[in-house]
Amino acid sequence: MKQTHIPHKPQRGVKSDKKGVLKRTKCGKAKKQKVWEYMRRNKVFRVGDLMIVFDMKKNYTNWILWFFKKEGLLKQVYSGKKFEDSVWKVIKDIGVVSPITIIEKNRRKR
């Protein structure tokens, strides 16, 4: 019995190559969104933990913390000798969507 190729609707995050072999693609939420959800979930967090969980460098982490602090969402609770030892607290929770994402969408509309 000969097998016939049945066309299928590709799933999100799955891509087929020329031979019809399915491969996983990288899809999902942006890192900024994942970081914001982590902060909302933990309320009080250590910067070193944030850097390890999301594999972030010091400059990127510093930028995110600066941005959220500027927006009035975070407050530094403890400043350790090292940057990684500092502890931050979420003081204003504006919802699920990351504030950075909201601002980027507003800029694109202009």
CATH number of 31-109: 1.10.10.10
pTM of the model: 0.68
Supply the DSSP string of 21-70, one letter for each residue. -EEE---S--HHHHHHHHHHHHSEEEHHHHHHHHT--HHHHHHHHHHHHH
Cβ neighbours, 10 Å, residue 74: 20
CA distance 10 to 86: 45
Q: Could you state, in order of their start, the residue ranges of all structural domains in the chain?
A: 31-109
Q: What is the pLDDT of residues 44-92, one digit of tens each?
A: 999 999 999 999 999 999 999 999 999 899 999 999 899 999 999 999 9
Secondary structure class of 69 (helix, strand, coil): helix
Q: What is the radius of gyration, based on Cα positions, of the chain?
A: 20
Residues in the chain: 110
